[in-house]
Amino acid sequence: MTEQTPRRLRYAMVGGGQGAFIGAVHRHAIALDGLAELAAGAFSSTPERALASGRALGVPDAHNHASWQGLLEAELKRPADERVDAVVIVTPTDSHFPIAQAFADAGFNVVCDKPLVHTAEQADALVATVAERGTIFGVTYNYTGYPMVRQAREMVRSGALGAIRKVVVEYNQGWLATALETTGNKQAGWRTDPARSGIAGALGDIGSHAENLVSTVTGLAIEELVADLGALVPGRALDDDASMLLRFMGGARGVLVASQINAGLENDLRLRVSGEHGTLEWRQEEPNRLVHHRGDGPTQILTRGAPWLCEAARRAGRIPPGHPEGFIEAFANVYRGVFADIRARSAGTGADPLDADYPRVTDGARGVHFIACAVASSSERRWRRFEDPGRV
Ligand SMILES: NC(=O)c1ccc[n+]([C@@H]2O[C@H](COP(=O)([O-])OP(=O)(O)OC[C@H]3O[C@@H](n4cnc5c(N)ncnc54)[C@H](O)[C@@H]3O)[C@@H](O)[C@H]2O)c1
């Protein structure tokens, strides 16, 4: 039997118009592997800018929409086999829920950026809709896509560190060290506005990545936490600095920091996981290296692309070792996972878990519950039990 070349998938994008940040990163990442092409969109919050953005991206007029509602309506009018295979949502967080819920409910596969939605109730509703419709829903916790993060995950799973005792995750940035939102900066504007960002600032924007990274690499479930959130730049309504202690099921302890007021720092995400036999350290600003401090021998520096890495890490690289890979490739790895799952689903086969390696709607929902729990802990100044809705 001859194998058929798989059809190139087609995706629509909501958000990511002119002047936006992350939409272009998603498009570059998807283009990297050529598995899917941009076929439709509603790229901006105003109709004129939405249409102009789509035209600049080469989207044909019939598929270029002034609003996401128009996109949905037009897609639903097409025969099922002519609809897009996935809808990518890269708008500010306040619009994630209505858009994601509408497309998922209509049977579309969705990829949404983090944090998933504003409230725990919205998160639970979305999880229920996706389960009912049986659609695919990925959340772009892009740090899970780095080869050396996948290597760290495998080393924890395989017991290389022994039982995990301590996890320290820090996500430090400096770009909100001044009141940038008062200067007209678009990205700072909505992130510091409770109406648009929700109940959390730095905690939601980058603390959600930190929570997801810990969960992905260690597999540990948070049992309790105590958080101290603050707005250290005067006049800010939402936290720009978050510190937290974590207690995990099984006894491990953790520290999580998410802060955007560290003047001079760029994107300093770092993770340290210590077990009975050793410690792993990974830093996003040097993502091609994973440091393994062994309790029984010299420290090893593992590098991306080396033949002795686990299969998940090797598959997540594209070029030989020594040529740095980074942010866009990690996003592309999340997309590879989503597209593999979409392909397997439409072929009626189960996807190989190594291929369909991407964060799901349940991971996004856990992140939203985590944010709510930390905000409550900080305002009540006490430890809170963390209820992960996905925990069985
Ligand atoms: N995974 C990551 O590393 C990462 C990094 C940055 C941002 N993000 C997330 O991506 C999302 C977007 O962030 P950003 O920094 O790119 O924001 P941005 O403000 O730069 O861009 C948002 C875009 O969405 C458009 N938009 C807003 N409302 C819309 C609507 N109703 N319909 C269509 N388009 C609409 C805006 O016009 C703009 O083009 C947020 O959820 C953010 O948390 C994730």
Atom of ligand 1 nearest to the CA of 112: 41
pLDDT for position 301 = 98
Ligand 1 in reach of 152 Cβ (< 6 A): no
Verify whether ligand 1 is closer than 6 Å to residue 16 (CB atom).
Answer: yes
Q: What's domain 148-319+363-385's architecture?
A: 2-Layer Sandwich (3.30)
Which residues, in sequence order, are bridge partners of residue 13? 41, 88
DSSP per residue over 153-197, as a string? HHHHHTTTT-SEEEEEEEEE--TTSS-GGGGT-HHHHHHT-HHHH
What is the DSSP pairing of strand 110-112 with strand 86-90?
parallel
Is the CB of 92 inside a 6 Å radius of any atom of ligand 1?
A: yes
3 state DSSP class of 300: strand
Distance CA 370, CA 386 (A): 7
Q: Calculate the alpha carbon distances from 239 to 229, 234, 371 in Å.
A: 6, 11, 12
Helical H runs in 272-316? Answer: 311-315
Question: Residue 225's beta-bridge partner residues?
Answer: 246, 384
Dihedral over Cα of 254, 258, 263, 264: its sign: positive
Residue 41, pLDDT > 50, answer: yes
* pLDDT at residue 3 tops 70: no
pLDDT tens-digit series, residues 219-251: 999 999 999 999 999 999 999 999 999 999 999
pLDDT tops 50 at residue 352: yes
* Band (4; pLDDT cuts 50, 70, 90): low
pLDDT band at 390 (very low <50, low <70, confident <90, very high): confident
Does the global pTM surpass 0.85? yes
**Ligand 1 pocket residue status of 186, Cβ below 6 Å:** yes
pLDDT on residue 163: 98
Q: What is the pLDDT of residues 249-259, one digit of tens each?
A: 999 999 999 99
Question: Which residue's C-alpha comes closest to atom 31 of ligand 1?
Answer: 45
The domain ranges of the chain are 9-142, 148-319+363-385
Span 74-88, average pLDDT: 97
Architecture of domain 9-142: 3-Layer(aba) Sandwich (3.40)
> What phi and psi values does residue 2 have, to the nearest 5 degrees?
-85, 140
| Strand, coil or helix: 114 | coil
Q: Is the CB of 42 under 6 A from ligand 1?
A: yes
Q: What is the mean pLDDT of residues 27-48?
A: 98
Mean pLDDT of the chain: 97
